[in-house]
Amino acid sequence: MSQLSLSERLRRRFRRSVLAPLDARLAGAVRRRRNARREFRPVFVTGAMGSGTTLLAFSLAQRFEFACVIAESAHQVAKRSFLHSPGVEVFPSVRSYEAAIRPRPGWRVEQARDDLLRLYRSHATGASDRALDKGPNTSLLRAGFLARCFPEGRFVVVFRDPVANVEGFRRKWRTFGGDSLDECIRFYAAIHEGFLEQAAEFADRVAFVEYEALVADYDARLEALARRLALDPARVRRRLAPRANVPGQGIRNVAGSRIGVVRDANEHAWGHLSEPEIARIREALAPLQARLRARALEG
């Protein structure tokens, strides 16, 4: 295949870096005007990053009716909003990242609700009042605040084998890879324990999904979750960009806009750790994993 000329490369770069973002902003503005008075009942899909939140969110989005699907809402919400947070890679340590995404005492429910509704309205199409808001890490730590913002909202918490999840922290995100294993273990515990403490006030609005159970019985688990959330079947199947079956951030193994479930991802993750590292993670986090699993089995 012949190489592109310099002028063609510049045209493509201009379209990608200038025209495409401009088109997206204009389309968002049009949708905000059209949806100016719409209210939404969000489904917050959350969990630790790397736990399977993307797999679950996009699986639900393809099969069931949502007005919009927001990936990483803390990144997409307006930068002026106190809810906005940059990506983990800008932080020098795990603790500085955790401190940045925790809610603050001065946060106002009305303002946060308005900021998120503005985001949902800028993406919403169709008649559904359901918004799917995927926010790993942030929505775990902010769950109590988000529950006050949207009393009609629901939470779906994905949790994964801690050994595989902690290994993923360190392999996929530089901030975690540059910190100690014990600090990554502490973070996993802190965000889940924080959610469990907050969720005591709205337990009836929370569903727990174990990643390993999801990939083992994918279709049945999705259908059961949809019944619990009272979701309507999708009128049109959402399209997904193709992705190779290569480990990394975000969704993988997508062909023909269909998600191929990967069932051996944990085994590959375990292979990157030593036996002492695995034992240390298990010793620290097995009791928490058992508590999360018990919540999932409650239905």
- 24 is a domain residue: no
- 28 is a domain residue: no
> Percentage of the chain with pLDDT > 70?
93
Residues in CB range of 72: below 8 A, 6 or more apart: 134, 135, 136
Residue 223 has pLDDT above 70, yes or no: yes
- 41 is a domain residue: yes
Q: Is the pTM of this model over 0.85?
A: yes
- 186 is a domain residue: yes
Angle at 73 between CA 193 and CA 92, to 5 degrees: 65
User: Tell me, what's the pLDDT at 35?
Assistant: 73
CATH code assigned at 76: 3.40.50.300
Q: What strands lie across the sheet with 68-71, from one edge to the other? A: 68-71, 130-134, 41-47, 154-159, 206-210
> Percentage of the chain with pLDDT > 90?
75
For the residues of 4-26, what is the DSSP string, one character each? Answer: PPHHHHHHHHHIIIIIHHHHHHH
- Average pLDDT on 164-183 reads 97
**Which helix or strand (DSSP H or E) is residue 270 part of?**
helix 265-270
Beta-sheet strands, E only, within the chain: 41-47, 68-71, 130-134, 154-159, 206-210, 254-255, 258-259
Burial class (CB in 10 A: 0-12, 13-18, 19+), 29: exposed
- 19 is a domain residue: no
User: Tell me, what's the pLDDT at 219?
Assistant: 94
Angle at 91 between CA 87 and CA 92, to 5 degrees: 155
Phi, then psi, of 107 in degrees rounded to 5: -65, 135
- Average pLDDT on 20-41 reads 73
Q: How many domains does the chain have?
A: 1
- 241 is a domain residue: yes
User: Tell me, what's the pLDDT at 147?
Assistant: 98
Domain of residue 154: give its range: 37-297
d(CA 211, CA 278): 19
Burial class (CB in 10 A: 0-12, 13-18, 19+), 18: exposed
- 21 is a domain residue: no
- 162 is a domain residue: yes
Model confidence over 230-245: pLDDT tens digits?
Answer: 999 998 887 778 777 7
Model confidence over 81-131: pLDDT tens digits?
Answer: 999 999 999 999 999 999 999 999 999 999 999 999 999 999 999 899 999
Nearest alpha-carbon partner for 94 in 215, 184, 18: 184
